[in-house]
Amino acid sequence: MSESSGGSRASNTFEHTVFVVDDDASVRTGLERLARSVGWQAESFPSADAFLERLPISGIACLLLDVQMPGTSGPELQALMLDGGWSLPVIFLTGQGDVPTCAQSMKNGAVDFLQKPVDDEVLLDALRRGLARHQAERSREQLRSSLQDHLDRLSPRESEVLAGVLAGRLNKQIAADMDISEKTVKVHRARVMEKMGVRSVAELVRLCGAGAFERSESVAAAG
């Protein structure tokens, strides 16, 4: 069960939330108050295991994580989250400097590694960076999901035409590549534009992006 000075869990998971995992009750209370002082929601947990029971997270959030705790340590929790595919920015707090742990944590994607006691403004700056990173990640996930929904509507032939268009091929070149008539390419191309919900090639390129299309195509092929 999570702990918070407000006595209840945040109800709107789509607002920015700071999660605190620390075995020191006074630290948890102080960090919650700091987060709430700038308008963020906050939840705290006395152990890594208690936080794991809270997962998954559906909104924009950042995790303040103590390094040394009884049971599962902060770096071990970070590793578990990575293995489980839970994307959540982590800021580590430690009572003593530990260069190897810091280096490994940053390599695993931590936003920052701060030593206690940490200045409020330094910590708030790190939290802002963490929340901004998570929001950007969620936006990319939503874009990829929307793109894949559009791609799933295309027939195999239409997908081939789309790949040709994104590669900058002319209709006659696509026709030669696919061994079909240029007129048929134009028909497929019109259907592609309709199903993708765009009116111009420029819009199509902006929606897909060559890299995003390749990733989505790989996912579809793997499935």
Q: Are residues 29 and 129 in the same domain?
A: yes
The pTM of the full predicted model, rounded to 2 decimals, is 0.67
Per the domain annotation, does 11 fall within a domain?
no
CATH number reported for the structural domain that contains residue 101 in this entry: 3.40.50.2300
Residue 159 CA to residue 220 CA, distance in Å, equals 11
Give me the average pLDDT of each 10-residue run along the chain (223 residues). Answer: 39 72 96 96 96 88 94 93 89 81 80 92 96 89 80 91 91 93 93 89 78 43 38
Residue 174 shares a structural domain with residue 119: no
Same-domain check for residues 190 and 137: no
Q: Residue 190 belongs to what domain range?
A: 152-222
168 and 108 housed in the same domain:
no
For residues 45 and 102, membership in a common domain is answered with: yes
Q: Are residues 120 and 174 in the same domain?
A: no
